């Protein structure tokens, strides 16, 4: 029986991993990796996977891994547009709400690998975490199953390359927003509202006000705020 590895750290991906495993447990032997120490040559040699899938993986993938095993990364842009870090935030800031999920072969570049397939994806509404949960559902119920059902041949990326810069925590300050409107504020707050991301904030004297759970309702924003004395 061939082995399939899912390497991820996010709770929603781990939940979907177990659903996928149950669905295909008679055809494949599944293994979950949740930290970079497990992604070692020694560990993988014992498993000898057919595929290693990386939905929302935060660490660099060593060359000895992707050069030996078919390694597939999922990126939330219509590549080669939007290579690089924090794609969701950069897409929303650029008001690109209709995008793609690109499944690519890992190589030595930044999101530069050959493309196996793409799926349409819309990010016009919802918090970052809600969007990531929806993204995960598409990856685990539509995209990975295609790999398991047939051999996919990746093709080289074509088109103009546009690269994103990974955003820094201090860029979550609302004062960094150049154009201020209700919709811009809505987008800015929601795009940072997910586990592991620095929430949108305002500094007020010695305090930081963090904003989340935002909704746009009849010409006003409604949401949650937390005040911290740690500025």
Please report the sign of the dihedral spanned by the C-alpha atoms of residue 207, residue 213, residue 216, residue 220: negative
Q: Which domains does the chain have, with CATH numbers?
A: 2-164 (3.40.50.170), 169-228 (3.10.25.20)
- What does the pLDDT read at residue 76? 97
- What does the pLDDT read at residue 58? 82
CA–CA dist 97, 99 (Å, integer): 6
Q: What is the pLDDT of residues 178-189, one digit of tens each?
A: 888 999 999 999
* Encoded tokens for 123: 């990010």
Question: Do residues 175 and 204 touch, judged by C-beta distance below 8 A?
Answer: no
- What does the pLDDT read at residue 231? 54
Local confidence pLDDT in tens for the 231 residues of the chain: 899 999 999 999 999 999 999 999 999 999 999 999 999 999 999 999 999 999 988 889 999 999 999 999 999 999 999 999 999 999 999 999 999 999 999 998 999 999 999 999 999 999 999 999 999 999 999 999 999 999 999 999 999 999 999 999 999 999 988 888 999 999 999 999 998 899 999 998 889 999 999 999 888 999 999 998 875
pTM score:
0.94
């Amino acid at each position: 029986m061939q082995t399939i590895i899912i390497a991820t750290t996010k709770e929603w991906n781990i939940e979907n991993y177990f659903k996928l495993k149950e669905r295909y447990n008679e055809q494949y032997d599944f293994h979950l990796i949740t930290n970079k120490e497990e992604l070692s040559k020694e560990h993988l040699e014992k498993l000898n996977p057919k595929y290693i899938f990386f939905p929302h993986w935060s660490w660099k993938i060593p060359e000895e891994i992707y050069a030996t095993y078919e390694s597939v990364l999922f990126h939330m842009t219509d590549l080669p547009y939007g290579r690089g870090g924090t794609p969701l935030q950069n897409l929303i800031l650029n008001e690109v709400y209709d995008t793609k999920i690109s499944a690519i072969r890992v190589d030595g570049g930044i999101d530069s690998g050959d493309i196996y397939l793409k799926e349409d994806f819309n990010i016009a509404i919802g918090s970052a975490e809600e969007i990531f949960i929806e993204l995960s559902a598409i990856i685990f119920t539509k995209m990975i199953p295609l790999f398991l059902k047939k051999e996919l041949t990746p093709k080289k990326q074509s088109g103009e390359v546009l690269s994103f810069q990974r955003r820094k925590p201090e860029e979550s300050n609302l004062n960094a927003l150049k154009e201020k409107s209700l919709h811009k504020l809505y987008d800015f707050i929601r795009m940072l509202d997910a586990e592991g991301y620095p929430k949108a904030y305002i500094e007020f004297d010695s305090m930081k006000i963090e904003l989340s759970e935002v909704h746009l309702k009849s010409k006003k924003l409604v949401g949650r705020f937390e005040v911290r004395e740690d500025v």
